[in-house]
Amino acid sequence: THPMQNNLAPIPELYVSYESAQKLKVEAADLTSHDLTPRQICDLELLMNGGFNPLKGFLTEEDYNGVVENMRLADGTLWPMPITLDVSEEFAQSIEIGQDIALRDQEGVILATMTVTDRWEPNKAREAEKVFGADDDAHPAVNYLHNTAGKIYLGGPVTGIQQPVHYDFRARRDTPNELRAYFRKLGWRKVVAFQTRNPLHRAHQELTFRAAKEAQANLLIHPVVGMTKPGDVDHFTRVRCYEAVLDKYPAATTTMSLLNLAMRMAGPREAVWHGLIRANHGCTHFIVGRDHAGPGKNSQGEDFYGPYDAQDLFREHQEEIGIEMVDFKHMVWVAERAQYEPMDEIEDKDEVTILNISGTELRRRLAEGLEIPEWFSFPEVVSELRKTRPPRAQQGFTVFFTGFSGSGKSTIANALMVKLMEMGGRPVTLLDGDLVRKNLSSELGFSKEHRDLNIRRIGYVASEITKNGGIAICAPIAPYATTRRAVREDIEQFGAFVEVHVATSIEECERRDRKGLYKLAREGKIKEFTGISDPYDVPANPELRVETEGTDVDNCAHQVILKLESMGLIKA
């Protein structure tokens, strides 16, 4: 490979001048509007600011086909990722080819206009196979393609009016031309970019520093803050971590800038795309690691891509990308020498102690509040991570009772609440069926739709409580398994969801008939009564099932307490 130096001339943007933008904004108010999704806002930002240079808008059908089939636009230019404007069928039908539309952010601010030159229904299965390697919903981008993206794609050139608004970390966000100007000002002729969606630990700091030294270049830490893999550490936490790590590099060698990219986790193609984006940002070198932008396991439990597929594809297209690949060294801690070394350069492997902590092990230690050694990560980083991922015994959680009317849910839930309040430490909120129907859902009846709405409301409140570190105890009938699963998913983003099936039989509930409702249900005076004239899906895998026949309330509540202890949610 030849020694690269950057050409820091500005690259083309899609924005019009400030004056024209003001005018266009007024005119665009009369156009048909498309409300951009969060992912489309990310794509639009990089289209407009030149991050996706040479694209001039959302892909046309011809360009899309070329990109899907052989990673090239219709004119032959290398471009690996479909940047498409997906919309609903209804919206697609409401416009005509040749028409200008306004692209608005989620608050309704007009960011751009687009002349719609193309409209087509893509073959999504084909896109999944060719771009992501398999039509398998376990891949986050394939899942997005099938279950979130609209059915129709629109293509055409974009005219930029204004950048998407960001209120966070404004000083850390740079357009390609802003970075180019910065490098020009500082005389940085060679710049290695490091792409990341994870917190940086000492191994990363060592490897990026080494990469820059080897290339005799400066270093740009270029983390993605747009959209990353579901479940990643949020970007607020990560940026605070990056700022701490930035202080560990020799002054004036390294800088950091935030990239509002929506990642696709497309491995090899994603690496090529990342390279093109970094070339646009004025970088000369790009670090590509093992399993770059990997999506995890497929539905058969296997990797989607080989560990070095990304490096191979990148190497193949390096000249065209216009950026030199620096392959990632696997850095490990050598205890005897108290330093990081590249694994494949250690000659006395058998005589030294080689240490490493995997991502999974790190998450376990955070969850259990265990030690994270200083050789692994910087104390500032660990303390930020501990704030966002406190040990389980300090996180919020939800206990969700489900069962027939009169099964004993409310009574056990009340007993559990006072036991938890006796222990103290976290605020406890009881969302009892009757209470919720009085305060949150007073207009609802008992049709499937209304029951689902009721449960989704309970789930929403419980997820907010859980997010804020409290304990939510819910005690509705919640007869539908799919609705319970949806609530579980809402809550598990923030903390544990403990489903407790109060398994009192319908015969026993009817025999007890505390409120006299079963009698009325039998007489047909109450319709759609759960267990009598309405369905109940018995939970297949609840965290706990309690039998109330022959067991007193105190003991039932105690069983829940024991379960919470065994899950690490409360300390004995």
Catalogue the active-site residues: 196-198
Complex with ligand PPS: residue 50 or 433, whichever CB lies closer: 433
Distance from the Cα of residue 259 to its chain's centroid? 15
Residue 446 within binding range of ligand PPS, rule CB under 6 A: yes
Alpha helices in 403-516 (DSSP H): 409-423, 433-439, 448-467, 481-492, 506-512
H/E stretch holding 127 reads helix 124-127
Among 150, 322, 433, 542, binds ligand PPS (CB under 6 A): 433
369 phi, psi to nearest 5 deg: 70, 30
> Rg (Cα) of the chain, in Å, rounded?
28
Name which of residues 387 to 406 contact ligand PPS (CB under 6 A): 405-406
**Which one among 161, 455, 557, 569 touches ligand PPS, defined by CB under 6 A?**
455
Q: How far is the CB of 474 from ligand PPS (least distance, A)?
A: 9
* Residue 451 engages ligand PPS in binding (rule: CB under 6 A): yes
Stretch that binds ligand PPS, among 30-38, 287-295, 339-347, 471-479 (CB under 6 A): 471-479
By CB under 6 A, residue 460 contacts ligand PPS:
no
Q: State yes or no: residue 476 binds ligand PPS (CB under 6 A).
A: yes
Kindly state whether residue 517 participates in binding ligand PPS, applying the rule CB under 6 A. Answer: yes
Q: Give 376-428 as a DSSP string.
A: TS-HHHHHHHHHHS--GGGS-EEEEEE--TTSSHHHHHHHHHHHHHHH-SS-E
Q: Can you spell out the DSSP letters for 134-198?
A: S--TTSHHHHHHHHTS-SEEEEEEEEE--PPP--SSGGGB--HHHHHHHHHHHT---EEEEEESS
Q: How far is the CB of 569 from ligand PPS (least distance, A)?
A: 24
Residue 530 found at the interface with ligand PPS (CB under 6 A): yes
Which SS3 state, helix, strand or coil, does residue 474 take? strand
- Among 56, 528, 567, 568, indicate the residue that binds ligand PPS (CB under 6 A): 528
Q: Which of 12, 32, 215, 1 is nearest to 115 (CA)?
A: 32
Q: How many CB atoms lie within 10 A of CB 511?
A: 12
Residue 202 carries which side chain, given as an amino acid letter? Answer: R
Shortest separation between residue 540's beta carbon and ligand PPS, angstroms: 18
- Using CB under 6 A, which of 479, 495, 539, 542 touches ligand PPS? 479
Site for ligand PPS in 72-101 (CB under 6 A): none
| CA distance readout (Å), 284 to 164, 177, 203, 215, 413 | 27, 15, 23, 10, 61
> Is residue 279 involved in binding ligand PPS (CB under 6 A)?
no
Query: Which CB atom, from 62 or from 534, has the smaller least distance to ligand PPS?
Result: 534
CA pseudo-torsion sign 7, 12, 13, 16: positive
Cβ distance 39 to 224 under 8 Å?
A: no
Closest residue by beta carbon to ligand PPS: 433
By CB under 6 A, which span of 82-90, 326-334, 414-422, 447-455 interacts with ligand PPS? 447-455
Closest CB 506 distance from ligand PPS, rounded Å:
12
Contacts of 93 (CB under 8 A, 6+ apart): none
CB of 410 to ligand PPS, least distance (A): 5
The minimum distance between CB 492 and ligand PPS, in angstroms, equals: 20
| Residues making contact with ligand PPS (CB under 6 A) | 405-406, 410, 433-434, 437, 446, 451, 454-455, 476-479, 515, 517, 526, 528-530, 534
